[in-house]
Amino acid sequence: MSSLLNSSAVKRSLAACLALPFTLLAGHAAADGDGVWKNGENVYAKVCGHCHESTVGPVIKGRQLPPQYITAVVRSGFRAMPAFPASFIDDKALQQVAEYISKAPAPAAKP
């Protein structure tokens, strides 16, 4: 039974099941007002922060990640993070959020 739980197919299925609610939540966030992202901070707050400001995803602010790396991970997905196609976030908004994340300070430590 434990070998079944360790199979790559089961891990991929589990990651997809975990990512689906966040993908749906992110899709709802895109419909904010006129459906246009305002800036990188807006995209981060409406989409990225749901996972990366909680214990779901790793902290990404304050790490000075290169914008090119961020855009590649967003477009392709990585581990439990789903890919976000251009139909969800256009290249301009993606570049804005990548620059925001790469320059943002680390969040304050929680007591």
Kindly name the residue from 15, 30, 45, 80 that is annotated as catalytic: 80
pLDDT digits over 6-63, tens only?
666 555 554 544 554 555 444 445 445 566 788 999 999 999 999 999 989 999 999 9
Phi then psi dihedrals of residue 101, to 5 deg: -65, -45
pTM here is 0.68
Question: What is the structure's pLDDT at 15?
Answer: 53
Q: Is 31 a catalytic residue?
A: no
- Non-local (6+) Cβ contacts of 44 within 8 A are 52, 97, 100, 101, 104
Would residue 80 show up in a list of annotated catalytic residues for this protein? yes
With a cut of 80, say whether residue 77 has pLDDT above it.
yes
The pLDDT of residue 93 is above 90: yes
Is 78 in contact with 22 (CB distance < 8 Å)?
Answer: no
Return the higher-pLDDT residue of 74 and 31.
Answer: 74
**Confidence at residue 43, expressed as pLDDT on a 0 to 100 scale:** 94
Per annotation, catalytic residue among 26, 81, 93, 98: 81
